[in-house]
């Protein structure tokens, strides 16, 4: 028996792991119930025949957020992760043959940009300066804090900042203030796809993405992104967190304004003082909670796109493929319209290739290659006929054709030892992502900050959420912030549960 307050976390995605570890650090007895056989959620891995693939995220961004997470758990990130900076961050390919290497080397950027447009470098510097401002304001005033009511969010202090962040302007349109060439506008907006957004709909605030990449760097942990998951699990277990795998939660039982217990698929009942949902928030409302009106409201919200994924074990190495490679469609706008309006694969798909063995030789057998290919597509839509087999075949053929045309790679299809494919149906079935939307709920003006689903249930006062579809949003470092904010809220609102020595001391401004 223990006198510690107890917590159940539903889901061992990175948000669930980090929240569990933070609660354990603050005196809770924590158990994590995970549907799958290993932790990580979308940030998982596949290992086959000596080839190691990250399943989802491949970019290690905002290292200071990771460092704060480890520090809050009494650890140093450098003791757990061996980070390597990737620079150039990407090799960007356009269908007309233009190539750009996005790099933090300002001189090299100047040379490349001025070959495209003599005025582009001046615009680039101004664009980065705006991105730096957006990053600082967003992190300090909006992303890195909880909002407990709408008046805090739309306060007299915040309203001018919302306009400074250009939250009501569109990213692609705003980029036209800095670049004339359409290809350069594309090169500095495609990063919106990390959030599953179209740059034609995303707020101009997201120029902060390019700033973080070029100023703070794109990094890669040796062992892959999954090394970050493994490190956090080790720390959580050291703090006493118990992980129970192959245990999908099938029901959340509630009464008298509180969650009473949760039931797993094997019929076992789990009780606790506090419950944290790290499964996709719309899924929790629709499938786990008693029937509620919020589930229908969530279903009508905007969702991010999905992806077709190819994981290829290849018999030979292709050195012309860099660590990160982006191939942009010729008709850039039409490609996004077909993804977000038609919920389909564009006629001219863009795609991204990750070749981790360029940095981590253990990611592939000697002389062979591990290739991860991401093709953005629409999410599942019952009103649209979606032939995923046909779309997978067309996406695959597009990749082969562009690699042959632009890199001279003509034999890749023959050199593939094995192929693993994910479609939106896989994202839905394996990770319980509503509509198969790979990045969760979208991030337009009406679905961020206090307007995004809150990290505590409005009626069930002991049910909290952490993850991509609650505040502050999607992306690994942002979900780590979600874990911090959710933990702070739990500790603030449940002081009676905590031992006197662990009473939560609110940060300045709370």
Question: What's the pLDDT tens digit per position in 169-183?
Answer: 999 999 999 999 999
CA distances to 55, 90, 145, 161, 311 from 52, in Å: 9, 21, 36, 43, 9
Q: What is the pTM of this model?
A: 0.95
Question: What's the pLDDT tens digit per position in 8-27?
Answer: 999 999 999 999 999 999 99
Tokens 């299809």, located at residue: 413
Question: What's the pLDDT tens digit per position in 37-77?
Answer: 999 999 999 999 999 999 999 999 999 999 999 999 999 99
pLDDT value, residue 298? 97
Longest Cα separation, the chain: 72
Return the higher-pLDDT residue of 495 and 505. Answer: 495
Q: Is the dihedral of CA 226, 232, 234, 240 positive or negative?
A: negative
pLDDT value, residue 3? 86
Give percent of the chain above pLDDT 90: 94
CA distances to 40, 80, 86, 414, 471 from 221, in Å: 15, 10, 10, 31, 26
pLDDT at 506 over 80: no
pLDDT at 509 over 50: no
pLDDT value, residue 115? 97
CA distances to 34, 321, 391, 397, 398 from 95, in Å: 43, 16, 20, 15, 12
Sequential DSSP letters for 390-423: HHHHHHHHHHHHHHHHHH----HHHHEEEEEEE-
pLDDT value, residue 1? 45
Question: What's the pLDDT tens digit per position in 454-492?
Answer: 999 999 999 999 999 999 999 999 999 999 999 999 999
Structure tokens at 193: 């796809």
Question: What's the pLDDT tens digit per position in 236-280?
Answer: 999 999 999 999 999 999 999 999 999 999 999 999 999 999 999
Coil, strand or helix at 336 = helix
């Amino acid at each position: 028996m223990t006198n510690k307050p107890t917590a159940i976390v539903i889901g061992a995605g990175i948000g669930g792991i980090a929240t569990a570890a933070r609660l354990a650090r603050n005196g809770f007895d924590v158990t994590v119930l995970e549907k799958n056989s290993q932790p990580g959620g979308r940030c998982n891995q596949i290992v086959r025949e000596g080839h190691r693939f990250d399943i989802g995220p491949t970019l290690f961004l905002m290292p200071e957020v990771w460092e704060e997470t480890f520090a809050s758990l009494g650890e140093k990130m450098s003791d757990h992760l061996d980070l390597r900076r990737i620079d150039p961050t990407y090799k960007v390919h356009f269908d007309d043959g233009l190539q750009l290497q996005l790099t933090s080397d300002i001189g090299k950027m100047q040379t490349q940009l001025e070959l495209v447009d003599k005025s582009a470098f001046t615009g680039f510097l101004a664009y980065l300066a705006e991105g730096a401002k957006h990053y600082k304001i967003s992190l300090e005033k909006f992303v890195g804090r909880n909002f407990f009511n709408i008046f805090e969010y739309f306060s007299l202090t915040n309203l001018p900042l919302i306009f400074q962040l250009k939250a009501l302007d569109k990213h692609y349109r705003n980029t036209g203030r800095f670049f004339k060439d359409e290809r350069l506008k594309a090169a500095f907006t495609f990063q919106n796809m990390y959030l599953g957004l179209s740059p034609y709909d995303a707020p101009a605030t997201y120029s902060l993405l390019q700033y973080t990449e070029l100023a703070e760097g794109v990094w890669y942990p040796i062992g892959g992104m999954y090394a970050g998951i493994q490190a956090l699990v080790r720390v959580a277990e050291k703090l006493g967190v118990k992980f129970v795998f192959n245990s999908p939660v099938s029901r959340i039982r509630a009464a008298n304004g509180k969650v009473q217990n949760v039931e797993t698929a094997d019929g076992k009942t789990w009780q606790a003082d506090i419950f944290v949902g790290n499964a996709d928030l719309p899924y929790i409302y629709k499938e786990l909670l008693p029937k509620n009106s919020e589930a229908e409201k969530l279903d009508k919200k905007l969702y991010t796109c999905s992806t077709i994924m190819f994981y290829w074990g290849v018999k030979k190495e292709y050195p012309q493929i860099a660590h990160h490679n982006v191939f942009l469609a010729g008709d850039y706008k039409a490609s996004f319209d077909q993804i977000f309006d038609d919920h389909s694969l564009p006629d001219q798909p863009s795609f991204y290739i990750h070749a981790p063995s360029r940095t981590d030789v253990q990611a592939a057998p000697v002389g062979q290659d591990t290739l991860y290919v991401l093709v953005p597509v629409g999410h599942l839509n019952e009103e649209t006929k979606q032939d995923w087999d046909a779309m997978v075949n067309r996406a695959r053929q597009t990749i082969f054709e562009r690699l042959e045309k632009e890199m001279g790679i003509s034999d890749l299809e023959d050199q593939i030892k094995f192929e693993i494919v994910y479609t939106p149906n896989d994202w839905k079935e394996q990770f319980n992502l509503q509509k198969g939307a790979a990045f969760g709920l979208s991030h337009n003006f009406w679905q961020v900050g206090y307007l995004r689903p809150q990290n505590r249930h409005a009626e069930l006062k002991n049910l909290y959420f952490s993850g991509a579809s609650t505040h502050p949003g999607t992306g690994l470092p942002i979900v780590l912030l979600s874990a911090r904010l959710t933990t702070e809220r739990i500790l603030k609102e449940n002081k009676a549960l905590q031992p006197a020595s662990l009473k939560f001391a609110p940060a300045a401004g709370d």
